[in-house]
Amino acid sequence: MKPPMVKQNGFWLALSLVLVVLSSIVASAVQTSGYTITVKDMSWETSSGESMSALLYKPNGVSADHKAPAIIVAHGWWNNKEMQDANYVELARRGYVVISIDMYGHGDSDYLTNSDVTLGGTGMYDAVKLAAALPYVDTAKIGISGHSNGARAANFTVALDNATAKQLVAAVFLVDNDPVYTDAANKNKYFNMYGSRDTGLVADQYDEFFFRSYSAQGVPLTPPRDYIGTPNAQSFLHYGADPTKITDARDAGTFYTDGGSIRVVYTPAQTHPWGTISKGTVADQVDFWQKAFGAPTPIESGTQIWQVKEAFTALGLIGFAIFLLAFARSLLGTRAFAGLKLESPLTVSANSRKGLAWFWAAMVVSALVSGISYVIMSQTPWIQGIAFNITPTIFTQGAVFFIALWAAINGVAAIVVMTISYLLFGRKNGLNLRTLGLLPGWKKFFHGIGLGALTVAAAYGIVFFFSWLLHTDFRFWVIAVKDFGPDKLWIALLYVPFFLVYFLANSVAINVFNHFTLRGKEWLNTLVLAIVNALAPIVLVVVQYVTFFITGNPIPGFGGIFSIWLFPVIIILAGAAVLSRKLYRVTGNPYIGGFIMAAVVTLVAVTNTLTVNY
């Protein structure tokens, strides 16, 4: 008869597999609209001489005899083609051919060269040319849309299209980035770069980056929630007219056609990153394209199914996390890794009053160091230079460098706190570092690393399998586990040492130095540690957006991108405490959970960002 722990782990392992399988099947069914849409994962050499990756969504009824409009959609900076899933699901099921691209430097496309960020419209115009060559595309109805820097790519694309003898782009829908209002080649006079193209815009009222008016000295004059009344917005809605000569004020949400084409601006009360997951913005997108091109398969814009895909890919993300823990524990039942399993659980007892004082003091210090170091880094010029890929270094993924460096700083701080705690309290109160696993010996240390590596490989094997079979991955909003090319493994080697410093130190702190009960309950201790792990990012995000909603602007000096980067970090840090604690309970080895988290976080980071060559 199997011990209860073995039976329980078997249940969790089975559940994790059920969740990832169910997630992939349902996500596939939704994105193909019940398998009435063919999905192709493409890669080709573009006219710019670069390799581009994209997902092609082709409704089954489309052919050379029954052509359909085509829409190219693009993600924002530091993202990838799957981030446009809400749009490609809803547009494809309405009969449009949709191409969702990895812009150059992102996903599986060739790396971006920082000396030419406009190359091929950052890849979008190269995708337009591909669409125009497809026999089943109505070349009179090719549209482009992008979120954030994907919208900037759309602006680059319009400029490139304007310079050609035969223009290919018929309509443009920009999400969360300003249109081009003035002509730099003509003394910055207001003009209509979009010409006769139907053009729409989503301008979020709480956009962290765009839709502000500035003085000649660069001082912000209006927050984004006042955008619709600004000269820029009114010029856009008046087809590039000089604002000083405009006599009527135009409103948000109204389609204007007096200039010979559509102009519309939507101003939802939402933030910049929410634009990728907003039902309202997806509805605005659908309404625009149905007005501009007509819908081959008319469906009311509020009738949306992409949320089902998002819910099930989130379920798959949960299944992936459970698998990491359950599979690692199941390996302890094999001959190869049985030596890592504890013969009996470590004794856990309630802490003393003095011990609790040290515990809470360490928690406060850790949270303060985490929050203060993050703010200082966000305002340090040389770090910003690397983070935004301005300064040439070996760290070609600047955003990952920023988070990895911050992690390492906090890892070192944790080591300092633990050392002080041990010297002043632990050593005098019977804290045995060898018994508690801090010094397991080199053989057990590397044995544990081997178990962790096999666990991560198995988990990603599942990711690659479903990506190949059903073109799905595991994600929710700003956090995603997806497949990747071998080049990302080499890039990961640059950053994994930073993450190892943090996650190994964090696991040691959680398990060796804080392995006791609170109010007689070990789970309460784990919960507190999970919350404290993520406390500083939570506080920074809350303070940022409370300030934003009250004043109309983010905290001065604390750029919006720095709070956005913390969204996935909150989930990851809380999860790290739970995973490392549960593995420690059965192995007494704090390094296994730390290694697994470092490896997974590194892979997630380097496969969902921008890579720049210098």
* Phi, psi (rounded to 5 degrees) for 161: -65, -35
Domains and CATH numbers, the chain: 34-303 (3.40.50.1820), 311-613 (no CATH)
**pTM exceeding 0.85:** yes
To 10 degrees, the CA torsion angle through 564, 568, 570, 571? 160
Specify whether the CB–CB gap between 509 and 414 falls below 8 A: yes
Strand segments (E) across 62-180: 68-74, 97-102, 112-113, 137-147, 171-175
Percent of the chain with pLDDT over 70: 98
DSSP category for residue 309: H
Give which of 33, 85, 12, 26 is closest to 312, Cα–Cα: 26
Q: Return d(Cα 516, Cα 520) in angstroms, integer.
A: 9
Query: What's the pLDDT tens digit per position in 489-513?
Result: 999 999 999 999 999 999 999 998 8
Q: Return d(Cα 121, Cα 389) in angstroms, integer.
A: 19
Q: Return d(Cα 102, Cα 563) in angstroms, integer.
A: 24
Mean pLDDT on 249-263: 96
Non-local (6+) Cβ contacts of 30 within 8 A are 89, 305, 306, 308, 309, 312
Q: Provide the 3-class DSSP secondary structure of residue 488.
A: helix
Query: What's the pLDDT tens digit per position in 511-568?
Result: 988 877 777 788 888 898 999 999 999 999 999 999 999 999 999 889 899 999 999 9
Angle 39-41-47 (CA atoms, 0-180°, nearest 5)? 120
pLDDT in the model for residue 346 = 73
pLDDT in the model for residue 115 = 65
Pair of tokens at residue 415: 């080591």
pLDDT in the model for residue 351 = 74
pLDDT in the model for residue 114 = 66
Q: What is the mean pLDDT of the chain?
A: 93
Query: What's the pLDDT tens digit per position in 325-367?
Result: 999 999 999 999 999 998 877 777 667 788 888 888 989 999 9
Q: Return d(Cα 69, Cα 96) in angstroms, integer.
A: 5
Higher pLDDT, 348 or 182: 182
Q: How confident is the model at residue 5 (pLDDT cuts 50, 70, 90)?
A: low
pLDDT in the model for residue 524 = 86
For the chain, the first-to-last Cα distance in angstroms comes to 61
Q: How confident is the model at residue 190 (pLDDT cuts 50, 70, 90)?
A: very high
* Phi, psi (rounded to 5 degrees) for 100: -105, 115
Q: Write the DSSP string, 272-288.
A: TGGGGS-HHHHHHHHHH
Q: Return d(Cα 531, Cα 115) in angstroms, integer.
A: 43
Q: How confident is the model at residue 150 (pLDDT cuts 50, 70, 90)?
A: very high
Q: Return d(Cα 421, Cα 358) in angstroms, integer.
A: 7
1, pLDDT greater than 60: no
Instruction: Work out whether strand 479-481 and strand 37-45 pair parallel, antiparallel, or are unpaired.
Output: unpaired
Q: How much is the CA Rg of the chain, to the nearest whole Å?
A: 26
Query: What's the pLDDT tens digit per position in 422-474?
Result: 888 888 877 788 888 888 889 999 999 999 999 999 999 999 999 999 999 99
Q: Return d(Cα 262, Cα 288) in angstroms, integer.
A: 9
Query: What's the pLDDT tens digit per position in 8-58?
Result: 899 999 999 999 999 999 999 999 999 999 999 999 999 889 999 999 999
Total H helices, total E strands in the chain = 16, 16
- Tell me which residue has tokens 């547009």: 91
* Phi, psi (rounded to 5 degrees) for 199: -140, 130
99, pLDDT greater than 70: yes
- Tell me which residue has tokens 């009435």: 36
Higher pLDDT, 221 or 281: 281
118, pLDDT greater than 70: yes
